[in-house]
Every structure is written in structure tokens, then in C-alpha cells.
Amino acid sequence: MYNEDGALKTGIRFLLLFFIVVSIGLGVFAIVRGFEVCPANVREKIVKQFAYNLRMENAYTLNLKDNTFINESDFAERQMYITEIIDDFVIEFNYFFTGSDEVQLDYEYDVYTVLVINYRHGKNTNNRLWQQEKTLVQNVDSKQQQIEISEQVQINYDEYNAIVREFEHKFGLTTDSYVDIVFKVTTSGEKEQKEFSEMEESRIQIPLNLEVISVNADDMVIKDEAILLKVTEEYNPDYELAGLGGVLLVSAIFSFIILYNKLFNISIKSEYEEERDKILTAYGDIIVEILTPMDKKNVSIVKVKDFYNLVGLEDEVRSPIMFYEDKNSESGEFCLLHNNLLYVYKIKTTD
């Protein structure tokens, strides 16, 4: 636990300092939490009132007219199709809505087509001339917590092509046309007087009156949402927690003050140590430190009142000053031997 010089080992000092810092932090945290003040003892917080997730997706397949070249199994989504052999498209829409709680969910959905005829003039094909909407499916319902919708519609490709050809023939125009098949769902509800609503669309677009086409379909829609509510609550201070924090904080600070010197390896020198170090620093070149005391037999001892007298004597006789220290009693002797006379200057800790 202690080094040879009496100081705490480095690991012990860091461990003690760590515990003191943690105790101070916990104490401050407990006091703040215990006496957390809000106006009129009321505070606001945000709570998750209702969470939900939804998924909307689409898919389609083709039915082909009898031909000797291509089978339906040869086709996949998002590739090129020869329109001459297309009989119809079978389109499927799916919608899933799941809430976190039992909430009354009202929903309505439509599946409808939008036939769009644009005037083709060079590269510009966005000059809309005419459009026609047609509802294929319509429904209104309500469920608890979860909604699952699956609708399948059949699109006769020749029927929509025929309308476009008739339009072009009647007006003598070249057009850029397509039909959108749209699945639109609106879901709404109420949770503790807070209303929410979601509207999503999924669309598949089929070009018309072309020899070869490529179908465009919206990607799957996935949503995870939450309805947040700001609520107020009455607040009462936690005196026990604050008191515990106060005790912990005071104890940690008191321990830090008591252990400060040991934690940072700061030694407080006694008067003896200060005088010893002062002499050794200033006159170390003429002092020899010895491990055993001077032999005082057969010599006459002369006690010197001031160390500087020894320095003057050393300068005259050119004999080194010997220093012996007794660490147990915190005392030391500076001695100079000359002509059978032992000059002694002694320093020690005063009581």
C-alpha cells in the first residue's frame, strides 16, 4: 500500500481519487434530482402516446394472348413487354397498419385508374390534352389496432389502347399516353383526444399505344411513426434522495481534503527537514553524508552553536564536514574532526 518512502502507491492513489470523484458526481446528481425545481411544482414531459407502423406494396403479372413465341413465365416485373401479345395486367395492392394500442382506426381506400393523354411535340410530352378517372374499388371500414387490405384488379390493356387510338384518330394527333392504377388509403384515429391521420398512395403506370413498353411501379412504403403528447405532472421534491446526496457529497469533499497531500504525493516538511535540506543544498560540495555515526571515543567534543562556524573552520583546515542522520528520531549531526577535536553541530525536530 505504501512505497519505501512512506507515500501511497500510485495505483492506490488513483483508486482513491476515482472513488472520491464518483462520490462527488453521484452526490451532486442526487441533490439536483431531489430538489429539481419547476414553477408552481409542475413540470412538463413528452410521452409516447401511440406508435404505429405501416407498409404499402404493389405487384403485377401479365396474361398474354395466344402466341407461338413467348410464354407468361418468360416475363418478370420491370422489363420490356411487346404490347401486341398483352391481354391484361393483374395488379395486386397490399396495405398493413399496426398500432401499439387498442385504438379505433377508421380507414377508407380506393383503387382507380387515371387515363392521361398528352400531346407529343418533339421531345416535350407533358402537354396534357385529356384525362379520365375511373373508380375500380372503393371501401370504408374501421378496425381495432390493426388493418390489413389486399385488393386485386384486372386491367384490360386493349380497352385503354382503344380509347387512345380513337382520340388520336378523331383529332389527327400524335399523343404520348399512359394509364395510372392508383391505390389510395387514408387511415385516421384518436388517442386521448389527440387525432392522427395517414394518407398513402401506391401507383403503377402502364404506357399505351406503343409497340414495346416498360411498366413503372412505386417502391414499397414503410413507415414507423409515433404520436407524442406533452403532459404536465405535479412535482414533489424527494428529500430522502437529496439528503443522501448531501451526505455523500460532504463525505467525499471531506475525504478529499483529508487525503489531499497523500493523493497528490505532497509531503509537508518539518522544521528539521527544511533546515537539513537548506544546508545540504547550499553546502553539498563540502559535506559528506555517512551511514554510521562518528566515533566519539578518544576525541574531545566541541559543540558548535551555528553551522556557519563549521563552514568557516572547514575553509581553514580543509577537512570535509561529515553528516549523519537518524531518520527514526529525525535528527542529524554535522561533524568536523581536526587535531583530535570533534566539532559538532546538531539539528533535530523540536517538540
Predicted confidence band of residue 234 (pLDDT cuts 50, 70, 90): low
**Bridge-partner residues for 300, per DSSP?**
341
pLDDT at 69 over 90: no
CB 97 within 8 A of CB 107: yes
Q: Measured between alpha carbons, how far is residue 76 from residues 62, 236, 302 in Å?
A: 9, 66, 117
Note the pTM of the prediction, 2 decimals: 0.55
d(Cα 228, Cα 253) in Å, to the nearest integer? 42
User: In terms of pLDDT, which residue wins out, 25 or 137?
Assistant: 137
Q: What is the pLDDT of residues 139-198, one digit of tens each?
A: 999 887 889 999 999 999 999 999 999 999 999 998 999 999 999 999 988 877 778 888
d(Cα 290, Cα 211) in Å, to the nearest integer? 113
How far, rounded to the nearest angstrom, does the alpha carbon of residue 119 sit from its chain's CA centroid?
54
Predicted confidence band of residue 40 (pLDDT cuts 50, 70, 90): very low
**Bridge-partner residues for 227, per DSSP?**
50
b vs e for 212-230, b when ≥16 Cβ sit within 10 Å of the residue's Cβ? ebebebbeeeeeeeebeee
CB 155 within 8 A of CB 89: yes
H helix intervals, the chain:
10-34, 157-171, 239-258, 260-263, 271-283, 307-317
Q: What length is written for the chain?
A: 351
Average pLDDT, the chain: 84
Q: What is the pLDDT of residues 286-314, one digit of tens each?
A: 999 999 998 888 899 999 988 988 999 98
What angle, 0 to 180 degrees and rounded to 10, lies between the N-to-C axes of helices 10-34 and 239-258? 150
CB 33 within 8 A of CB 241: yes
H helix intervals, 225-345:
239-258, 260-263, 271-283, 307-317
Sole residue written with cell 399496426: 98
Phi, psi of 212 (to 5 degrees): -135, 135
Question: Hey, what's the cell of 218?
Answer: 412505386
Q: In this structure, is the dihedral angle defined by the CA atoms of residues 25, 28, 34 and 40, taken in order, positive or negative?
A: negative
Can you tell me whether residue 70 is helix, strand or coil?
Answer: coil
How far, rounded to the nearest angstrom, does the alpha carbon of residue 47 sit from its chain's CA centroid?
20
The fraction of the chain above a pLDDT of 90, given in percent, is: 42
CB 335 within 8 A of CB 321: yes
The predicted pLDDT at position 191 comes to 76
Question: Hey, what's the cell of 158?
Answer: 386493349
